[in-house]
Amino acid sequence: MQDIVQQTLSIGVLGFSLILFIYCVEFLCDAAAWQLTITSIAPTPTWLLRLFKVRLVGEAVNTLTPLGGMGGEPVKAAMLKHNYQIEYTEGGASVILAKSLNVFSLVIFLALGLYLMHGDSRISEELQMAASVGLALLAIGGVGFFIVQHLRISSRGMRKLAAHKGSMIKRLQEFDEQLIHFYKHHRQRCLIALFLGVLNWIIGALGVMLSIRLMGYPLSFQDAWIIEAMAQMTRAAAFFIPASIGIQEGTFVLFVGTLTGNPALGLATALVRRGREIIWIGLGLVVGWRFLNPNAPRV
């Protein structure tokens, strides 16, 4: 235990600050990708800052609630409406679009991570097979989510259940149309958002490499990519566990230990990530409190 504490603290204040900065860049990529899904606004630095703050609050709620990473999505749509006058239909559609593109970009990142794992003698065939199954399930889920949007299943299902078209049906139809319109008529935005999503995961791998190198182990970027890919895969699989407590730590111990021969280094890396997450959740709650304060200035 003492070795783990020493390895964790060996990063130092400056090193931890650099890790926080890298995570801020990751978050900025996600906010920029989300911005592209809201077609009624221009992609400007002002809007990027606004969405960064809204996402900060929403992701804090996502992390703290056992709702599959979806607990903060209605919060984001509500904040867009009440603070920036973006209608629920467009705001809600942008949240779904951003989440969909995030999943697709994660599938691309994981597929490349699986390719890097292939043939690596340090990783057992059983682990590689488990990773392949996890990737396949995530890809199937992502495609299924896209099909639900493309076929307008939500509004069609409501029409069959309702005797007449009420306001709820019309809202669902408008919501579905927002999704389809974006995919059909804003393909350039869609592709750029997808690229930003993949870039976000790659920067995350860079953060893993930096954390472990600051602890004194010369981890390669390829190994960091594999570790981050497996961490994100297990996090997605454990969506019902708030903050993936225990699951994330186990993944780091397993894969960092496998690739470096030092499981304690994996736990130390996981603790550094937890520290980063705690600070980020705290920032999200502070920003959320400011949004709830009617006297706080709006940017």
For 245-286, the pLDDT digits (tens) are 888 899 999 999 999 999 999 999 999 999 999 999 999 999
pLDDT tier at 115, thresholds 50, 70, 90: very high
Question: Does a structural domain hold residue 236?
Answer: yes
Question: Does a structural domain hold residue 131?
Answer: yes
- Rounded Cα distance between 273 and 121, Å, is 27
172: number of Cβ within 10 Å: 18
Domain limits for position 84: 2-150+186-288
- Rounded Cα distance between 232 and 174, Å, is 33
Question: Does a structural domain hold residue 268?
Answer: yes
Question: Does a structural domain hold residue 181?
Answer: no
| Rounded mean pLDDT, 57-76 | 82
Question: Does a structural domain hold residue 180?
Answer: no
Question: Does a structural domain hold residue 234?
Answer: yes
**Residue 10 pLDDT greater than 70, yes or no:** yes
Angle between helices 167-185 and 88-117 (to 10 degrees): 50
pLDDT at 153: 53
Say how many domains are in the chain: 1
Name the DSSP letter for residue 42: -
Question: Does a structural domain hold residue 166?
Answer: no
88: number of Cβ within 10 Å: 15
**Residue 146 pLDDT greater than 80, yes or no:** no
Q: Outline where DSSP puts E strands in 181-276.
A: none
pLDDT at 147: 72
Greater pLDDT, 154 or 96? 96
Question: Does a structural domain hold residue 13?
Answer: yes
Q: For the ranges 7-16, 28-37, 208-217, 251-260, which has the lowest average pLDDT?
A: 7-16
Q: What is the mean pLDDT of the chain?
A: 86
The model carries a pTM of 0.86
pLDDT at 50: 95
**Residue 135 pLDDT greater than 80, yes or no:** yes
pLDDT at 178: 80
pLDDT at 158: 47
Q: What percent of the chain lies above the pLDDT cut of 70?
A: 86
Greater pLDDT, 170 or 144? 144
pLDDT at 141: 82
